[in-house]
Amino acid sequence: MPRLCKPAMSVPEHVITVEETLEFAAKAHAGKPQLPLALRLIRNTGVLKRHIVQPIEKTLVHPGFGERNRVYELESKKRCPAVIEQALANADLTVRDIDAIIYVSCTGFLMPSPTAWLINNMGFNFATRQLPIAQLGCAAGGAAINRAHDFCIAHPGSNVLIVSCELCSLCYQPSADDVGSLLSDGLFGDAVAAAVVRGVGGVGIELERNASYLIPNTEDWIYYAVEDTGFHFRLDRRVPGTMQPLAPVLRELAKDHSWDASKLDFYIIHAGGPRILDDLAKFLDVDREMFRHSAATLTEYGNIASAVVLDAARRLFEEDAPRPGAMGMIAGFGPGITAEMALGTWADDTPPRPLD
């Protein structure tokens, strides 16, 4: 069965704390009627700091959509290779072992996809399949794991590289003063993550089942308004309440696999905000501590979109390894409203160390 190996993760060098965020927001949007509410919501996100690709002073200035996309291209090409190399090392593979690359991002646009540049510049086989995913937002991390699972099942013995490059700070809109935009200015961070799904062997989460679900008629709850100045993030106030309709879907997925969603050994959940984790813990009847990896990602990096599930998974690997056979769930949520869900067990083929 395909296995998700330990992800690699990198964040930019520029750091902005929640205190600095509140200070900059108060200055940049002074006098806006929605500002007091937005500041209160930012304080309640649980995000203590975020990492961004440019100094905050430069981020606050909008140079135009074209220039921002140019920065996205420059920064993604600069930052992705090292993370990919680490992910390959974690999986004990090389570029020549990869059969497909899934590249996910909702914060910049390039055509041809960055997959083409990676193949040309990192030594991947020219027959490597390319699957860029640009419009699933935060759900794309879960979707990438699921599509990698599907590919490995369809092509036994194959290995799939997942790359997530989310430079959310390049979507900042100085003129936007609605609550959703102001909240996002204090919530989203930048990151690059990568992971390999091995078709055979390795240490990690053996992927057993996956599913997708779309909450009907919620297309306008999370979306981009594409304007001359670029992507304008729109967030409906109903989004934080989406765990109530999605929890039964997660329960049903586990039930169909003869598992109990309330009694799993680990959970890798997209942490769009603290209420997502609070509500999911409530509706699944799970101790909130079980979501500690996702919560740590939110606290230390903010919402890093599709990279959240990969970073939360990395934290699981770096904690004391689960026992072989430990059962877990991966779930990402994003525009649509879309849920991408997976079930898997911990597997370790590492030979035991000889006794002294």
pLDDT, tens only, 11-33: 999 999 999 988 888 887 787 88
Measured distance CA(211)–CA(146) in Å, rounded? 8
Which of 5, 80, 138, 152 is the catalytic position?
138
pLDDT, mean of residues 214-224? 91
pLDDT at 98 (0 to 100): 98
Residue with tokens 């700070």: 169
Measured distance CA(55)–CA(356) in Å, rounded? 53
Query: Are the C-beta atoms of 196 and 160 separated by less than 8 Å?
Result: yes
pLDDT at 354 (0 to 100): 42
pLDDT, mean of residues 179-200? 89
pLDDT tens-digit map of 240-259: 889 999 999 999 999 999 99
Angstrom CA distances, 85 to 93, 334, 353, stand at 9, 28, 27
pLDDT, mean of residues 290-308? 96
pLDDT at 232 (0 to 100): 83
Query: β-strand 100-104 against 159-167: which pairing, if any?
Result: parallel
pLDDT at 351 (0 to 100): 45
pLDDT at 142 (0 to 100): 97
pLDDT at 350 (0 to 100): 58
Most confident of 17-21, 274-278, 327-331: 327-331
pLDDT at 313 (0 to 100): 97
Retrieve residue 73's tokens. Answer: 């291209």
Q: What is the mean pLDDT of the chain?
A: 92
CA atoms within 13 A on the CB side of 46: 16
3-state helix, strand, coil in the chain (%, to 5): 40, 25, 30
Burial track 41-57 (b if 16+ CB lie within 10 A, e otherwise): bbeebbbebbbbbbebe
pLDDT, mean of residues 194-206? 96
pLDDT at 308 (0 to 100): 97
Q: Could you give the domains of the chain?
A: 3-203 (3.40.47.10), 204-219+236-346 (3.40.47.10)
- Annotated catalytic residue 138: yes
Asked if residue 337 has a cis previous peptide bond (ω within 30° of 0), the answer is: yes
Angle at 352 between CA 347 and CA 356, to 5 degrees: 155
pLDDT tens-digit map of 36-85: 888 888 888 889 999 999 998 899 889 999 999 999 999 999 999 999 99
Largest CA distance in the chain: 70
Model pTM score? 0.94
pLDDT at 355 (0 to 100): 45
pLDDT, mean of residues 185-193? 92
Residue 356 has pLDDT above 70, yes or no: no
pLDDT tens-digit map of 90-147: 999 999 999 999 999 999 999 999 999 999 999 999 999 999 999 999 999 999 999 9
Nearest CA to 305 out of 267, 328, 273, 341 is that of 273
pLDDT at 27 (0 to 100): 82
pLDDT at 167 (0 to 100): 96
